[in-house]
Amino acid sequence: MAHAVRALWPHGRAVAWRLGDRPALGLHAHSRAGFTRAAGGSGPAATARKGGPRLLGAAALALGGALGLYHTARWHLRAQDLRAERSAAQLSLSSRLQLTLYQYKTCPFCSKVRAFLDFHALPYQVVEVNPVRRAEIKFSSYRKVPIVMAQEGESLQQLNDSSVIISALKTYLVSGQPLADIITYYPPMKAVNDQGKEVTEFCNKYWLMLDEKEAQRMYGGKEARTEEMKWRQWADDWLVHIISPNVYRTPAEALASFDYIVKEGNFGTVEGAMAKYVGAAAMYFISKRLKRRHHLRDDVREDLYEAANKWVAAVGKDRPFMGGQKPNLADLAVYGVLRVMEGLEAFDDLMRHTHIQPWYLRVEKAIAEAPQ
């Protein structure tokens, strides 16, 4: 609709100019011709006859200007009404949902979902899952987090996979389709990964299920939609996988990371102490294996810096966010992934040695200022 308003507003002004300028030029020409003929002795009758076109021209000028202003004001007010209607409709939709997020707070995929929910001011409850026992999600055959349980009236839906959760909820907010229908667009599919392990993948998970008008209103063009999808997938397929090797890069960093995980996670006292030291040692060695699997450099910080600067270059200098004047789903995904490193040495190094900090702070501010 914003694009429609921009198209209609100049159109209203153009009506005023088309109906207004030409009669004014015509009047000027007629006046000069009448003056010449009067000097030649045409007399009072000729002058009276010329008065008719002048009056008609003046009337056309006034009418054209009035019509132009009327149409401009009408479209402008209609655009404001439509924006207000959409905001009210979105608020009504979000208020009909009761969301519960099952998560590990330090999981980058869970952090992505929280960034999305917070930016869109969707109220939700959090259940912190114990990463060892996972008793909190024993109701689910899907054993990973995040999981979102969404209550819409009498309908209770389970949403799995961070990107599916985000795509389904954004589709719901934009289109107003029943959530039970939307989740059928993202069917799970069993596959075997490179390690021979069976995994669950989801079809269409970066795609919003919108009709042509809704997609045009949201993106403005196919390029913006394709760009958002490309970088959302990049965040999942690449950025996420360089986080662990960086936060567990050295024994000291691994211990600091697990100290943070234990403080933020759902651990008992003894379990937390075991997790801190045993987990830190285990993840230090696992991170080395991850580094080889993903073909990272010996100094994994270089991969982190390169990824951050690649993202900043993709956003560019002419817009504050990849989404333009406000974060889109790719902005929120990249921010959510990076946010899990806050307070750790890897995060401080990232802010110090790359150009990502201004963008990162803008997203942080946009989320903080979202209406609650």
DSSP codes, 49-113? HHHHHHHHHHHHHHHHHHHHHHHHHHHHHHHHHHHHHHHHHHHHHHHTEEEEEEE-TT-HHHHHH
> 321-324: long-range contacts (C-beta < 8 A, 24 or more apart)?
321/359, 321/362, 321/363, 321/366, 322/227, 322/228, 322/231, 323/224, 323/228, 324/224
In sequence order, the 6+-apart residues with CB closer than 8 A to the CB of 367 are: 115, 118, 119, 327, 335
What is the secondary structure of 3-58 as a DSSP string? Answer: HHHHHHHHHHHHHHHHHHHHHHHHHHHHHHHHHHHHHTT--HHHHHHHHHHHHHHH
Q: Could you confirm whether 107 is annotated as catalytic? A: yes
User: Which pLDDT belongs to residue 306?
Assistant: 98
Q: Are 187 and 256 in contact (CB under 8 A)?
A: no
In sequence order, the 6+-apart residues with CB closer than 8 A to the CB of 11 are: 71, 75
Q: Among 110, 185, 258, 267, which one carries the catalytic annotation?
A: 110
Q: Are 348 and 304 in contact (CB under 8 A)?
A: no
Q: Could you confirm whether 104 is annotated as catalytic? A: yes
Q: Could you confirm whether 109 is annotated as catalytic? A: yes
User: Which pLDDT belongs to residue 91?
Assistant: 52
- DSSP 8-state symbol, 130: P
Q: Among 109, 202, 206, 219, which one carries the catalytic annotation?
A: 109
- Asked if the 85-367 domain carries CATH number 1.20.1050.10, the reply is yes
Residue ranges per domain, the chain?
Answer: 85-367
What is the reported pTM? 0.75
CA 236, CA 222: separation in Å to the nearest integer?
Answer: 22
Q: Among 107, 185, 202, 260, which one carries the catalytic annotation?
A: 107
Q: Among 35, 102, 104, 186, which one carries the catalytic annotation?
A: 104
CA 337, CA 136: separation in Å to the nearest integer?
Answer: 23
Q: Could you confirm whether 203 is annotated as catalytic? A: no
User: Which pLDDT belongs to residue 134?
Assistant: 92
User: Which pLDDT belongs to residue 108?
Assistant: 97
Closest CA to 311 of 372, 252, 363, 371: 363
User: Which pLDDT belongs to residue 51?
Assistant: 52
The one-digit pLDDT tens for each residue of the chain (372 residues) are: 333 333 323 333 333 333 333 333 333 333 333 333 333 444 444 444 445 555 555 454 445 444 444 444 444 444 344 344 444 444 556 668 999 999 999 999 999 999 999 999 999 999 999 988 899 999 999 999 999 999 998 999 999 999 999 999 999 999 999 999 999 999 999 988 877 888 899 999 999 999 999 999 999 999 999 999 999 999 999 999 999 999 999 999 999 999 988 888 888 777 888 888 888 899 999 999 999 999 999 999 999 999 999 999 999 999 999 999 999 999 999 999 999 999 999 999 999 999 999 999 999 999 999 876
First to last CA, the chain: 24
User: Which pLDDT belongs to residue 12?
Assistant: 34
100 CA to centre of own chain: 21
